[in-house]
Each structure stands twice: as C-alpha cells, then as structure tokens.
C-alpha cells in the first residue's frame, strides 16, 4: 500500500489515496500501527483520501489511537494539496467532503504546487449541548455559549470556553502554556466526564489584540505541534472573551495559522501551510 507523509504547521499524518489504493486492514487498526513513531511510519494519525459523490474528494481522519475524528483543519489543507498536486482534481477552489460537511478550500499556488490553503471552516457551534459539554453559562441559559466558565480540575482553577468546530474544544487562557498545563492537565481535561465525547484541550497565552500563543492536547493523540480546528476554536473563544479582534495570528509549536471570524457570515476562515514530506510503501 502506497502512502504519503504530509504536514500542516507540524501536524503530521500518513495519507492514503483510496482513488488508487486498497487498505490491507480496517482503518482503525491500521491507524494505530502506521502512526507509531518507533515501529511505524510515525504521525498524529491516518488520513484517507476517498472518492466522493458530493465533492471533489472525501477525507476520513483517524487519530493515533484508532478513533475516527469528525474533522482536522490541518489535514484537510493537506488533502487539498494532494488532490491538486497529484492531478485528481484541478479546480480552484476545491470542495472536500469531511465529517462535518463539504468545505471550500482556496489554493495558493507556487510553480503550480499548493503552498498555502484558505479554508472556510463554517460556523462555530456554541450551544453547550451540541459541543457537547455539561458546562453552562453563568446566566443559566442552557443555549448560551459557555464562555469563561469556572472549571476546577486536579486542584487547579481555570476559566474555560467551550466551542465545537465539528469536534469539541475546551479553551483555557493561561499565563504560559507550559508542560505542566499541556502534558499534566491536558489529558485529564480530555477524559473529564463533563465532556461526554472527550475533548481537545487548548492552553493559550494572549500576546496582543491580534496574536495568540497556543499549545494543544488533542483527543485521541496527545500533544501535537498544531491543531487547525483547535486554532479556530481558540480564535472564537478569544473574541467571545473580548481578548482579541476578529482576525488573529496564532503561533503554534509547528508554525502559524491565521484565523478570522467573519462578522457578516459567521464563518471561521483558517489560512495555513500544507507540505508533502515523503512517500513510501507500507507492507501488507
């Protein structure tokens, strides 16, 4: 089975083109093996690039623990690059089907190769029941966004904002996004029963009205160098909390993403890089 390793801001996945390849085993089991950084190819998970009857291609994404995720913002940019650069579809913009619907992606080209992608990520989901989380706004309104909600965990007091970008996120603003927060508290937030489908945990430092620094503990994977949906959720949370303007640059460990929450459409727009690392053959 041929595969391609790709990364977007350091968020790396193993991609398999199901227009031409066949999986040797169920994707859940393959994701665990192929993502292993010691005995496999190594990556944050497995992404399948599939035919679609609704769009130019379809993306299925599996975390390193084998669980299937609804969406990955960094991965969908890489899917768009693969689909364009390998000649599967030459349209610009492209339409990619994901677990949260069909997304539109504008391609920035250099020498007819994709270098950056602008993705319309749609509207954020803010109703707590749909995130989902049992946390509620201080007003008690069950449909009000859970913004700056007090959150005690492992003897620590945080204020968190809950956002779904098709997958659930818990955003906490801290003085410094240290290992103590990300590696120590991140996995505990992921598994906390107040998030019935588990959750991605973002730890964020405000640098200015237009810049944030972020680290993320991803559901089913652990810390990654970047998370596209997490960056989108963080941008939304920062705006809801009054900490930034509606366009922010988010500095992640693997690079920068630009997030804009359009006031007129309500859609979140993410812009970031996509890069192919290498290709190879996985023994069946």
Q: Is 284 helix (H, G, I), strand (E, B) or coil?
A: coil
Alpha helices in 161-272 (DSSP H): 179, 186-190, 228-240
232 counts as catalytic: no
Q: Which bin fits 188, alpha (ψ -120 to 50), beta or left (φ > 0)?
A: alpha
Residue 131's SS3 state is coil
CA distance 20 to 1: 10
Tokens of 204: 């964020």
Q: Is 72 a catalytic residue?
A: yes
Contacts of residues 138-145 at CB distance under 8 Å and 24 or more positions apart, as own/partner, are 145/240
Query: Could you say which of 72, 78, 162, 232 is catalytic?
Result: 72
Catalytic residue among 78, 170, 227, 232: 227
49 Cβ contact list (under 8 Å, min separation 6): 15, 16, 17, 18, 19, 57, 58, 59, 79, 82, 83, 88
Active site residues: 72, 227
């Amino acid at each position: 089975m041929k595969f391609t390793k790709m990364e977007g801001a350091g968020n790396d996945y193993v991609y398999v083109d199901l227009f031409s390849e066949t999986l040797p085993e169920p994707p859940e089991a393959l994701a665990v093996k192929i993502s292993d950084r010691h005995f496999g190819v190594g990556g944050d998970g497995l992404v399948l690039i599939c035919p679609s009857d609704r769009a130019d291609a379809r993306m299925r994404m599996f975390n390193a623990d084998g669980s299937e995720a609804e969406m990955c913002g960094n991965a969908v940019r890489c899917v768009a690059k693969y689909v364009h650069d390998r000649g599967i579809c030459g349209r610009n913009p492209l339409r990619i089907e994901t677990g949260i619907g069909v997304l539109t992606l504008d391609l920035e080209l250099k020498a007819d190769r994709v270098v950056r992608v602008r993705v319309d990520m749609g509207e954020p989901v803010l109703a707590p029941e749909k995130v989902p989380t049992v946390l509620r706004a201080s007003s008690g309104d069950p449909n009000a966004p859970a913004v700056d909600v007090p959150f005690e965990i492992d003897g620590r007091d945080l204020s968190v904002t809950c956002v779904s970008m098709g997958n659930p996120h818990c955003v906490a603003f801290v003085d410094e996004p240290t290992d103590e927060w990300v590696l120590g508290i991140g996995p505990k937030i992921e598994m906390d029963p107040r998030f019935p489908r588990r959750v991605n945990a973002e730890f964020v430092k405000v640098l200015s009205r237009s810049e944030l620094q972020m680290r993320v503990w991803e559901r089913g994977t652990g810390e990654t160098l970047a998370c596209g949906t997490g960056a989108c959720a963080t941008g939304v949370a920062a705006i809801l909390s009054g900490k930034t303007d509606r366009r922010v640059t988010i500095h992640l460990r693997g690079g920068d993403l630009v997030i804009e929450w359009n006031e007129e459409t309500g859609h979140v727009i993410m812009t970031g890089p996509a890069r192919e690392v290498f290709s190879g053959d996985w023994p069946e």
